[in-house]
């Protein structure tokens, strides 16, 4: 166990020592404040459109636009765009060592391959969690700071008004679920990474898989409904579930469980592949 | 017995890269593992270090079957497989700290010690990407001795080094064996490296063991001492010497006679030539593993 903890810590050091790790953090650190400042200065078109459709039924006084609403809409990047930051690192974790030849030294130590791959997987999880939570903290934090706080209006099946305190609690749950969703992407990329010796292949492979799955998920064709449960993208919207009232815990637990199965399968497949791998480079 | 392989074999596709290899390495030896490129040396070493799996056969370290000891035995083994690839973006010290952490029971002080041994202490906190090939090679040896190993397995450690670098690594290997009592398993395709460094040798070709034993014994047993002689009339000398029964083999080229005789017959050879009226300008004894090696591999002896 101690050896696994050490190996995990070393994997985190390796990830943290690479320039590519910070591309996502830097992009988020630039993009989020820019968006918040622009919203503050020029308003929030999406919100206005949503409100316009309800002007006949409701009377709104003042502005409902606040940092929490902007943060809520920003969560949409978690679907397709954000996974790029995940695969950029996850795709490199195993494959780069095969290409660089570092396994020749690393694997001659009295540590099992299962521990090595597990350490890498945990480190990938740590990175995934860190960058998702960074996005959450920055968007909610800077949103409130720059645009301002207040109640959160959620337009879904109707209008849900959440107090600031309640909204923050929902954001916390939502971003924890987003970590789990992104971890599914990371673990798929991790699997591809363990099969190859270059990091470009896993990145392209994961994205191609994501796009195909999204297409299959959104097509409202009856024949495709049969395969929907087997597509992990079918459960990606779980991070929006906490913004319903009441929070559908049972559905969330179900989706988390199903995504967990995908993560477990990808992890075990990676482990089997890595343990059987012959280090000839 | 520090290391023993029994019928060790590895098949890639239809080709046996290693074929029924039986090696025996005793404590304290500097064991040369010699063979031409593609002979199966690196494959054998990769099997011993569990980087690849053998197709058939077994091996044991310290008298214990690897299938029983598992990877725990690597706590007492150091290794450097081909060129040392470290994490370039980390410092040498950080690389060693991580490897020490995975080796179990290695103190921080030991990192300074090994850096001192390989003369990299003053560059310990530089990133590995700033290191020359020779420095990386020395760092590779440093990591191999981190855990106070009883045996180190070095795969072509002088590959790609300049003469100065080769000399340094060779001195280092001799020091590790002499000063620290570490058994060394050294693979190389360089004959003179084995000849100058090793006490024992196993020669491998096409995945098969050709011969193994003590370097000195192998040479002596086969009387593989060549004497190079320059005389004023080489053709007449060849004709005359070929009739002598105590001459094992004689060839000539570029005015130099290469005569294969036991070392103790050299004075007699000189006397014989002088008595037969030759002006002898040089007699150079040459004990070479090279000729022996080439003979064993059925290649032309120069």
Measure CA A35 to chain center.
Answer: 20
pLDDT at A52 over 70: no
pLDDT at B293 over 90: no
pLDDT band at B222 (very low <50, low <70, confident <90, very high): low
Region B114-141: mean pLDDT is: 92
Q: Could you tell me which residues come within 8 angstroms of residue A23 by beta carbon, excluding any fewer than 6 positions away?
A: A85, A88
Q: Is B77 helix (H, G, I), strand (E, B) or coil?
A: strand
Contact state of B102 with A101 under an 8 Å Cβ cutoff: no
> What are the structure tokens assigned to A160, written together?
């849900």
* Contact with chain B for residue A280, Cβ under 8 A: yes
Choose among A7, A10, A105: nearest Cβ to B143: A105
Choose among A13, A100, A104: nearest Cβ to B82: A104
Region A92-97: mean pLDDT is: 90
pLDDT at B226 over 60: yes
Instruction: Tell me the pLDDT tens digit for each residue of A246-277.
Output: 899 999 999 999 999 999 999 999 999 999 99
A126-140, B184-198, B253-267 — most confident range: A126-140
* Contact with chain A for residue B11, Cβ under 8 A: no
Residue by residue, DSSP assigns B204-225 as EETTEEEEEEEHHHHHHHTT-E
What is the reported pLDDT for B167? 87
- Predicted ipTM? 0.82
* Contact with chain A for residue B50, Cβ under 8 A: yes
* Contact with chain A for residue B240, Cβ under 8 A: no
Q: What is the DSSP letter of B51?
A: S
pLDDT band at B302 (very low <50, low <70, confident <90, very high): very low
* Contact with chain B for residue A274, Cβ under 8 A: no
Region A54-58: mean pLDDT is: 65
Choose among A17, A101, A104: nearest Cβ to B89: A17
Instruction: Report the alpha-carbon distance of residue A67 to residue A143 in Å, rounded.
Output: 4
Contact state of B82 with A107 under an 8 Å Cβ cutoff: no
Neighbour-count burial for A249-277, b at 16+ CB within 10 Å, e otherwise = eeebeebbebbeebbeebbebbbebbeeb
Region B29-47: mean pLDDT is: 92
Choose among B85, B89, B94: nearest Cβ to A104: B85
H runs (alpha helix) in B213-288: 215-221, 234-242, 266-275
> What are the structure tokens assigned to A219, written together?
């097509």
User: Which chain A residue has its CA at the smallest distance from B149's CA?
Assistant: A109
Neighbour-count burial for A2-33, b at 16+ CB within 10 Å, e otherwise = ebbebbbbbbbebbeebeebeebbebbeeebb
What is the reported pLDDT for B301? 45
Average pLDDT of chain B?
88
Instruction: Report the alpha-carbon distance of residue A3 to residue A271 in Å, rounded.
Output: 17
Instruction: Report the alpha-carbon distance of residue A212 to residue A94 in Å, rounded.
Output: 24
| Contact in structure between B128 and B95 (CB atoms under 8 Å) | yes
Region A224-250: mean pLDDT is: 90
Of the listed ranges A236-240, B161-165, B172-176, the least confidently predicted one is B161-165
> What are the structure tokens assigned to B161, written together?
């080094």
User: Which chain B residue has its CA at the smallest distance from A18's CA?
Assistant: B89
Q: Which of A110, A114, A197, A276 to mutate to test the interface with B (most CBs of B within 10 A)?
A: A110
CB contacts < 8 A, A to B, total: 77
Region B200-216: mean pLDDT is: 90
Contact state of A107 with B85 under an 8 Å Cβ cutoff: no
What is the reported pLDDT for B219? 63
Contact state of A3 with B73 under an 8 Å Cβ cutoff: no
Choose among A101, A108, A111: nearest Cβ to B85: A101
Show residues of chain B in contact with A108, CB under 8 Å: 49-51, 74, 77, 79, 81
* Contact with chain A for residue B82, Cβ under 8 A: yes
Domain ranges of chain A: 2-276
pLDDT band at A47 (very low <50, low <70, confident <90, very high): low
Cα dihedral sign, A106-A111-A117-A121: negative
Contact state of B50 with A17 under an 8 Å Cβ cutoff: no
Instruction: Tell me the pLDDT tens digit for each residue of A111-159.
Output: 999 999 999 999 999 999 999 999 999 999 999 999 888 888 887 677 8
| Contact in structure between B152 and B120 (CB atoms under 8 Å) | no
* Contact with chain A for residue B292, Cβ under 8 A: no
Q: Which of B41, B101, B129, B149 to mutate to test the interface with A (most CBs of A within 10 A)?
A: B101
Show residues of chain B in contact with A7, CB under 8 Å: 101-102
| Contact in structure between B138 and B118 (CB atoms under 8 Å) | yes
What share of chain B in percent tops pLDDT 70?
92
Cα dihedral sign, A122-B142-B145-B8: positive
pTM (predicted TM-score): 0.85
pLDDT at B217 over 90: no
Choose among B52, B79, B87: nearest Cβ to A108: B79
Please indicate whether residue A64 or residue B172 has the higher confidence score (pLDDT): B172
Beta-strand pair B280-287/B256-260: unpaired
Choose among B51, B88, B140: nearest Cβ to A279: B51
φ/ψ of residue B98, rounded to 5? -70, -45
C-alpha R_g of chain A = 21
Contact state of B94 with A13 under an 8 Å Cβ cutoff: yes
Instruction: Tell me the pLDDT tens digit for each residue of B61-99.
Output: 999 999 888 888 999 999 999 888 999 999 999 999 999
Please indicate whether residue A79 or residue B22 has the higher confidence score (pLDDT): B22
Average pLDDT of chain A?
89
What is the reported pLDDT for A79? 82
Widest pairwise Cα distance in chain A: 72
Of the listed ranges A51-60, A210-219, B279-288, the least confidently predicted one is A51-60
Neighbour-count burial for B111-122, b at 16+ CB within 10 Å, e otherwise = beebbebbebbe
* Contact with chain B for residue A3, Cβ under 8 A: yes
Instruction: Report the alpha-carbon distance of residue A59 to residue A61 in Å, rounded.
Output: 7
Instruction: Report the alpha-carbon distance of residue A64 to residue A54 in Å, rounded.
Output: 13
């Amino acid at each position: 166990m101690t050896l696994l903890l050490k190996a995990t810590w070393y994997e985190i050091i390796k990830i943290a020592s690479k320039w590519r790790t910070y591309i996502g953090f830097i992009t988020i650190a630039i993009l989020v404040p820019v968006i918040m400042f622009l919203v503050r200065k020029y308003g929030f078109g999406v919100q206005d459109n949503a409100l316009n459709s309800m002007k006949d039924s409701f009377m709104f006084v003042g502005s409902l636009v606040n940092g929490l609403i902007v943060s809520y809409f920003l969560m949409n990047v978690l679907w397709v765009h954000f996974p790029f930051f995940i695969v950029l690192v996850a795709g490199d974790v195993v494959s780069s060592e095969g290409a660089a030849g570092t396994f020749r030294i690393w694997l001659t130590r009295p540590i099992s391959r299962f521990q090595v791959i597990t350490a890498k997987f945990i480190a990938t999880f740590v990175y995934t969690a860190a960058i998702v939570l960074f996005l959450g903290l920055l968007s909610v934090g800077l949103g409130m700071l720059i645009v301002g706080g207040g109640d959160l209006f959620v337009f879904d099946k109707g209008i849900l008004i959440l107090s600031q305190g309640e909204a923050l609690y929902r954001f916390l749950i939502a971003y924890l679920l987003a970590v789990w969703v992104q971890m599914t992407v990371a673990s798929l990329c991790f699997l591809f990474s363990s099969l190859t010796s270059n990091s470009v292949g896993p990145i392209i492979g994961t994205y191609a898989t994501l796009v195909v799955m999204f297409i299959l998920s959104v097509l409202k064709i009856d024949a495709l409904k049969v395969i929907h449960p087997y597509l992990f993208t079918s459960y990606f919207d779980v991070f929006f579930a906490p913004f319903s009232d009441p929070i559908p815990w049972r559905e969330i637990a179900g989706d988390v469980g199903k995504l967990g199965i995908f993560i477990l399968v990808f992890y075990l497949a990676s482990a089997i592949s890595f343990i059987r791998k012959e280090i000839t480079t | 017995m520090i290391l023993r392989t029994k019928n060790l074999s590895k098949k890639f596709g239809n080709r046996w890269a290693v074929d029924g290899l039986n090696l025996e390495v005793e404590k304290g030896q500097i064991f040369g593992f010699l063979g031409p490129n593609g002979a199966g040396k690196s494959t054998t070493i990769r099997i011993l270090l569990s980087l690849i799996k053998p197709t058939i056969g077994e091996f044991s370290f310290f008298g214990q079957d690897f299938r029983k000891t598992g990877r725990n035995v690597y706590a007492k083994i150091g290794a450097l497989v081909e060129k040392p690839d470290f994490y370039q973006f980390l410092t040498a010290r950080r690389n060693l700290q991580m490897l020490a952490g995975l080796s179990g029971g290695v103190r921080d002080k030991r990192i300074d010690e090994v850096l001192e041994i390989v003369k990299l202490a003053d560059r310990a906190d530089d990133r590995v990407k700033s290191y020359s090939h020779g420095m990386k090679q020395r760092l590779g040896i440093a990591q191999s001795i981190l855990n106070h190993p009883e045996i180190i397995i070095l795969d072509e450690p002088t590959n790609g080094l300049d003469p100065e670098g080769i000399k340094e690594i060779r001195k280092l290997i001799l020091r590790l064996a002499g000063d620290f009592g570490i058994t060394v398993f050294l693979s190389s395709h360089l004959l003179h490296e084995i000849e100058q460094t090793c006490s024992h040798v196993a020669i491998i070709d096409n995945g098969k063991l050709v011969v193994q034993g003590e370097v000195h014994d192998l040479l002596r047993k086969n009387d593989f001492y060549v004497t190079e002689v320059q005389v004023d009339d080489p053709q007449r000398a060849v004709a005359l010497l070929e009739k002598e029964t105590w001459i094992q083999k004689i060839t000539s080229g570029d005015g130099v006679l290469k005569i294969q005789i036991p070392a103790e017959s050299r004075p007699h050879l000189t006397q014989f030539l002088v008595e037969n009226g030759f002006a002898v300008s040089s007699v150079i004894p040459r004990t070479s593993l090279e000729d022996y090696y080439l003979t064993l591999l059925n290649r032309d002896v120069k």
